[in-house]
Structure formats: structure tokens, C-alpha cells
A = this chain, B = another copy of it.
Amino acid sequence: MKDFIWNVDTKIMFGKDFLKDLPNEIQKYGDRVLITYGGGSIKTIGLYDKVIKVLKKANIFYKELGGIEPNPRVESAREGVKIVRENDLNFILAIGGGSVIDLSKLIAGATFVDADPWKIVIKEEKIEKALPIGTILTLAATGSEMDAGGVITNPETKQKLGFGSPYTTPKFSILNPETTYSVNERHTAAGVADIMSHTMENYFTLNDGAYLQNRLAEAILKTCIHYGPIALNNPTNYDARANIMWASSWAINGLLNTGKDTNWSVHAMEHELSAFYDLTHGIGLAILTPRFLNHILDDSTVDMIRDFGINVFNIRPTNDKFVDAKKSIGALHEFFEQQMHIPMTLEEVGIDDEHLEEMAKRAATHAGGTIKGVKQLTSEDILEIYKKSLY
């Protein structure tokens, strides 16, 4: 096991009844709030009104930035920074899913940087200070409510890139599973796939002695496999929504990769798809992951992939390790397709072979020449994985 530091201090208030504590939590850090949200679903479900009511009752000053995109764009961060500076705001309350929280993190950091926010994303500027952030989560997926990072899209340059800073970890997050009742089938499935992908990106490593971490990862995968279909079939099943929501935070808050070297190969490939096609992130991850595993399957990885199937999908082991590993990959593909109703080919989500080569090259370039991880992936490898994902 490698040396590591664990230092995650987000306070999580989980359950049905914590909105009343919102003013108290905000006032620990600030009194002039930027409220950020997305396309308005928080208004449909009545959450917006409830938040405004408690803020008004506590006489907390606020401004709003709505309309943040599903793959959040750097323009929105520019707008957010402007509102913060013009109104001397000192706290950000992000209400939404990962996109809203990710974008809020960029605003929080960019407020104190004298340059365009995009410079932070492309690492030309560094976050040394940030506005404190609180979140009210409405989608179980990205884990942004309890980690330091975010992913931002720049449509002009067709780039979708991650950034992160310990300063942008939320101070608190309110997780009410009921707020996810109205999430539709497609986004529920994409969220579950996203959580599983985070977990698998942390899980698929070799010979690092991180046994506990791998068992914890399997616990999260089993939870997704158990409750994903239940949430699809019964969107108001509280325990299903609650387990998926709590799993989303722990899949990516850093626990699963303590003591490990991880490299997030599938995310690196998927970000190009989303940048070119505005594809829902989790859907892209679900499509690519089985093809990725098939591509890296060889003598060095067969035990790892086989154990995954045995421990997570209860594959009964045979004498042929490769047969077992292929069964494991098949079980994952089938779970996404049959149980989560995810379209499992690029063709079904409207992606043809036009840009595959360009995306493969960019994925490799963004990763510094090759994507690292269990297996190094060159642009040729990536292209092959894309091609295998087409139909």
C-alpha cells in the first residue's frame, strides 16, 4: 500500500429534514450568497422555493446564477465571477447535481484569480484561495458534493477538462434522497453508471496491496447493482435513492484510492465524447467500460477482471480464467443494458465514426501522450476501443 494523506472534511447532512439548518451552516462562513442552479428542475420539485424561504427568513442576502448546463461551460463561470465581484458575495450555495457544483467550484476559485477562469482549468493559473461552498444535492452521480474537483467544458476549443483544489471542497452538503425522486430513468441510470465508473477507475489497479480499498469498492458496486434497478422501477423508493446517493459520495471522495495509484482511463476517453457530442457523461462511461476491459484483458489483468466478476456479480469460477474474465465483462455489459436500460452503443446515442480518430488523438494528448493506468493506452488503443463501442 502506498503512502497517502486522507483529509476530507465536508460535513454531510443526510436525510429528509436538514434544510432548516441551512442558514446556520451558511452563517458559519458568510452572509452574502451566490445561489447556483441548473435548468430549473429545482423549481419544478419545489426545492427552490423552500430554499429561498429559509434564506429570507434568516435575512440572508443572495444573488442567483441559474441555467448552468449539464456539461457546465466556462462562460457560466465567467458570469458567476462577475456576479460575485459586483455584489461582494462571500459564499456559494450550489443547488443541483455535479454540473452545478463543479461550476460553482470554478467560480469559487476564479473569484480570487486575476485571469480568465479557463486558465485555471488548463493549469495556467492556480487556485490559492476560494469562496466557501455549500451544496444541496439533487442528483446522485458525480460525488462533487464531497470532493475537491470538477470538470468544465469549453465549447470553443472542444475541450472538457478536470480541475481541482483542496480549497474548493464543499464545507457542507445536504443530501436528501427525496430530491432525487423526480430524476428520470435515463439520468438515474447514467448516475448509477457514473458512480460505478468512479468506483471501477479506483478499483482496477494491479499489485498494490490495497485489499481493504478493493473490498470497499466492491461494496459500492454491489450497492449500485442492487438498488439501481429498484430506483428505475420505483423512483420513490427511499432506501434505493438513499443508498445510491450515499454511494455516490464515497465512490470518489478519495477513500477508494487511498494507498493506490489510479489513472482514470475510461474518464479520459469519455470526456472527448462529451466534449464533441454533449453526451450524458454516465452513458458514455457505461458504453466504454466493457470495451475498455476487453481491450486490456491479457495475462497481467485476467485475475483482476475475473475477481471483479466473482466478487461483484457472483460469477461462478471455472478452470479457465479468461472465460471467467469475459463472463465478468459480459455481466457488466448486460447489467447496464438489460437492467439499467442504457443504450450500449455509440450508434444509439448518435455518434458515428466521423470524429473517432480526432477524439482518440486528443484523448491521448490530454493525458500527456498516452493514457496511463493498468495498461497504457496509445491513441491507436483508444481508437480501437471507440470503434468497438460503435455498434
Contact = CB atoms under 8 A, between A and B. Distances in A.
Interface string A254-285: 01001100000000000000000000000000
A13 B5 contact: yes
Nearest to A177: B1
Interface in A321-370: none
B211 A239 contact: yes
Nearest to A224: B212
A61 interface: no
A3 B14 contact: yes
A246 B208 CA distance: 15
B15 A6 contact: no
Contacts of A6: 11-12, 14
Nearest to A18: B3
A243 interface: yes
B212 A243 contact: yes
Interface string A11-43: 111111110000000000000000000000000
Interface in A223-265: 223, 226-227, 238-239, 242-243, 246-247, 250, 255, 258-259
B215 A223 contact: yes
A216 interface: yes
A55 interface: no
B212 A1 contact: no
A238 B255 CA distance: 19
A211 B255 CA distance: 18
B219 A14 contact: no
A7 interface: yes
A57 interface: no
Interface residues of A, number: 41
Contact of A238 (B7, B209, B246, B250): B209
A128 B259 CA distance: 36
Contacts of A250: 212, 255
Given A209-B239, A219-B216, A220-B212, A5 B12 contact: yes
Nearest to A21: B5
Contacts of A255: 250
A236 to B, nearest CB: 14
A1 B258 contact: no
A196 to B, nearest CB: 13
Contacts of A8: 9
A246 B3 contact: no
A391 interface: no
A13 to B, nearest CB: 5
Contacts of A211: 223, 226-227, 239, 243
B15 A11 contact: no
A201 interface: no
A212 B16 CA distance: 18
Contacts of A247: 212
Nearest to A247: B212
Interface in A187-223: 209-212, 215-216, 218-220, 222-223
A331 B223 CA distance: 25
A18 B5 CA distance: 9
Nearest to A172: B7
Contacts of A246: 1, 212, 258-259
A7 B14 contact: no
Given A12-B6, A218-B219, A258-B14, A209 B1 contact: no
A290 to B, nearest CB: 23
Interface of A: 1-9, 11-18, 177, 209-212, 215-216, 218-220, 222-223, 226-227, 238-239, 242-243, 246-247, 250, 255, 258-259
A-B interface, 7 closest residue pairs, ranked by CB to CB distance from nearest: A3-B15, A215-B219, A209-B239, A9-B9, A6-B12, A1-B242, A212-B223
